[in-house]
Amino acid sequence: MSAALPQNPSRRSVLKGIGMAALAAGPLSACAFGSSDTPATGGATGEKSTTNPFGVVANAPLEVVIFKGGLGDAYATEVHEPLYKKAFPQAEIKHVPTQQIAQTLQPRFAGGNVPDMIANSGSDMMDNGALQGEGQLLDLTALYDAPAIGGSGSVRDSLLPGSVEAGFIAGKPYMMKYIYTVYGLWYDSALFAKNSWAPPTTFAEFDTLLGKIKAAGIAPYAYAGKNAAYYQYWMIAVTAAQIGGNQVLIDMDNLKEGVWTSDPVRQAAEAWASIGKKYLDPSFEGLTHTEVQTSQNQGKVGFYPSGSWLENEQKEQTPAGFQYALAPTPSVGSSDKLPYGAVRAAAGESYIVPSKAKNSAGGLEYLRVMLSKEGARGFTEKTGIITVVKGAADGLKLSPGTQSSNEALKKAGDNIITYNLFEDWYKEFETDLRSKTNALMFGRSSAEQFCKDVQAKADAIKADSSITKQSRTS
């Protein structure tokens, strides 16, 4: 089929979400993506049993693509892949590490030669919602209904509450969310103790403390505008949820009319724009996340917004004596619906199995290995990050950052702010939100204009019939 043939509207939604860098590679052929009536599984299957519930062919090759970012890829090469190989010693495993998921896989989806399992993450992640809408993702219900490896009951029974639902698209689990992440403001507790600085509980205290940090010759607050502006819009969204309740984030995900121009979001944008105006060095807009994070390790940055993968991502750059710690987002005012100490926490990091994979049964089995206690415990040992598998990390000595995030999670109790799923559902919107966040934080847009512009984009996504709409209730 010719690459010059026009794209139909539903395929356009995939092309929007596959990543701007990937689109630069050129147009896809008209047969690049299948229709929604794609077969449920790909490749040959063998005899099914309780130990081989998906019927993996013992000598079938398995290809695994891993996003090599904050989590690295040793958890795959030294834990999960060896466990899979132990079960299927005749299987050849091809390991593909990359930080450019969309760029790497776009031509492969175009050519119909997809891998068997993908860790779809990072700034160049693919649009899971668009892929699902095109029939490109395997429904993982069978995974969760399968027997848990090394335990009793199903895989579903072995997971923390909400883990399966975190991967829902169109009411079914098309993504396996693996790590349990806590988000907030990260700092060096040793540096803070040396200077008698304490994490702030309100934005007024935040402002005062940032002034003291600035006076000490340290950049008070920083995020990487070049490739991680989403770290900052997370903070704006969390503050909005603190002010107006978690329903604000649900409304964002559901593209509810007027949510981005509502009082909670406007107040959150105003609070963070003030921080940006007073304390954010303009040079950070041109830096990557690793550059800013390394500056923090060098004692040049006070607070940095991120998730609990940060400590592991920076372990090679972290000097002795640096002690990662997490602070919850400060409260804006006494009328906030959620108290100080509320944190955003959820199952995160998407792992997917393409429906047209040559060995989709192997892809499912690989995920089952990941969700075994042995696989999950090994992951935590390699990354320092807790998974969604109940009790898998019991008895492990945790790093300072992981210990801090776990303590914050315990203190939060029921005051948990749930994940923004529009990142998985509407990649075009998410990409646009990054640029608008930079404009707000680096002084090119007012809070009012930011809210107006983001709402306009959300409305445009909602009105675009080529984009499959998703929703959640909690």
Q: Check residue 86 and give left, alpha or beta (phi > 0: left; psi -120 to 50: alpha).
A: alpha
Does residue 150 share a domain with residue 35? Answer: yes
pLDDT of residue 41: 53
The bridge status of strand 172-173 relative to strand 301-307 is unpaired
161 and 244 fall within a common domain: no
Measured from the Cβ of residue 226, the count of other Cβ atoms closer than 10 Å reads 16
Q: Write down the pTM of the prediction.
A: 0.74
> 292 pLDDT exceeds 80?
yes
Helices (H), 289-354: 289-297, 310-313
Q: What's residue 25's pLDDT?
A: 32
Domain identity same for 292 and 435:
yes
Question: What's the pLDDT at 152?
Answer: 85
> Is 13's pLDDT higher than 80?
no
For residue 139, give its domain range.
9-180+348-398
Do 308 and 319 have their domain in common? yes
Non-local (6+) Cβ contacts of 198 within 8 A are 192, 209
| Triad 440, 446, 449: Cα angle to 5° | 100
Q: What is the domain count for the chain?
A: 2
Percent of the chain at pLDDT exceeding 70: 91
> Do 308 and 365 sit in the same domain of this protein?
no
Residues 60 and 169 grouped into a single domain:
yes
Q: Note whether 55 and 103 are same-domain residues.
A: yes
102: Cβ contacts below 8 Å, ≥ 6 apart: 18, 19, 21, 22, 124, 125, 126
Please tell me whether residues 358 and 337 are part of one structural domain: no
Enter the tokens of residue 324.
């990662």
Q: 330-389: per-residue pLDDT in tens? A: 999 999 999 999 999 888 899 999 999 999 999 999 999 999 999 999 999 998 888 999
Q: Is 403 part of any domain?
A: no
Read off the pLDDT of residues 17-76 as tens digits, 9 standing for 90 and up: 343 333 333 322 222 333 333 334 567 778 999 999 999 999 999 999 999 988 899 999
Q: Which has more pLDDT, 22 or 471? A: 471
Across the range 456-465, mean pLDDT stands at: 97
Is the model's pLDDT at 169 over the cut of 80? yes
Residue 121 included in any domain: yes
- My answer on whether 125 and 18 are in the same domain is yes
Q: Which domain CATH number covers 449?
A: 3.40.190.10
The answer to the question of residue 410 being in a domain is: no
Per-residue pLDDT band at 110 (split at 50, 70, 90): confident
Indicate if 185 and 327 belong to the same structural domain: yes
Distances (CA, A) of 136 to 24, 106, 128, 281: 21, 12, 9, 42
